[in-house]
């Protein structure tokens, strides 16, 4: 079920920063208290392959997100200790040293379960142990959430494990939603900052289509 148009789950999760400090983050409350947008991206596992390329890409674009009043937060189901080990590993060794945004440690799967983004599915029932066996690694897909300043989700997307994200697309989406917030205009297909938007009525659509 989609979370778009709804408040993000009000769940507090452990997090780790680049200094090795563990603390708690409630993404919903953070957006509301700091009056900032939030980009939360989930990745499957630390010490893997596509994941560090995405994390470094978000780090490289961090200034652009900050210019847009947006907090970037990473997340996986690894423990905080594993996060710190990866944060302490150099980039040329496959690590994420130099990353400065916090990374959630949803090791109890409370938040990822609420979002429905775990790869786990029900398997066979084992009569001998009276156990319903599960299939999958119980790690998250590459899910991404954009929250507004009230903690409401205005975008979500979920990629399968092999598909890395395009960081620039999230900047475009933030620009588009901010334009709507500030001007009341909606953003047509392939809109980018600086291009024409349009009024959300039949006249606005006709005017836009007649000139594009």
Active site residues: 51
**46 and 153 Cβ atoms separated by less than 8 Å:** no
Using CA atoms, how far residue 190 sits from 39, 115, 145, 164, 176, in Å, is 21, 28, 20, 20, 10
Distance separating alpha carbons of residues 41 and 185, to the nearest angstrom: 27
Q: What is the DSSP letter of 95?
A: -
Distance separating alpha carbons of residues 148 and 180, to the nearest angstrom: 12
Q: Could you tell me which of 78, 71, 3, 18 has the C-alpha nearest to residue 47?
A: 78
Name the token pair of 162: 């092999």
**75 and 107 Cβ atoms separated by less than 8 Å:** no
**6 and 152 Cβ atoms separated by less than 8 Å:** yes
Distance separating alpha carbons of residues 55 and 42, to the nearest angstrom: 10
Sign of CA dihedral 117, 168, 57, 53: positive
């Amino acid at each position: 079920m989609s979370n778009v148009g709804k408040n993000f789950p009000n769940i507090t999760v452990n997090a780790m920063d680049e200094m090795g400090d563990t603390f708690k983050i409630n993404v919903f409350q953070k957006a509301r208290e700091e009056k900032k947008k939030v980009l939360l991206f989930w990745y499957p596992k630390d010490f893997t392959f596509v994941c560090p390329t995405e994390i470094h890409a978000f780090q490289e674009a961090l200034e652009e997100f900050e210019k847009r009043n947006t907090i970037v937060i990473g997340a996986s189901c690894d423990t905080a200790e594993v996060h710190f080990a990866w944060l302490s590993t150099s980039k040329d060794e496959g690590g994420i040293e130099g990353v400065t945004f916090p990374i959630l440690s949803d090791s109890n799967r409370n938040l990822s379960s609420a979002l429905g983004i775990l790869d786990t599915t029900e398997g066979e029932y084992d009569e001998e142990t009276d156990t319903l066996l599960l299939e999958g690694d119980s790690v998250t897909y590459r899910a991404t959430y954009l929250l507004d300043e009230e903690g409401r989700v205005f975008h979500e997307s979920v990629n399968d494990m092999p598909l890395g994200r395009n960081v620039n697309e999230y900047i475009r989406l933030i620009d588009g939603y901010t334009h709507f917030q500030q001007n009341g205009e909606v953003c047509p297909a392939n809109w980018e900052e600086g291009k024409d938007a349009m009024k959300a009525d039949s006249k606005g659509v006709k005017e836009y289509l007649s000139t594009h």
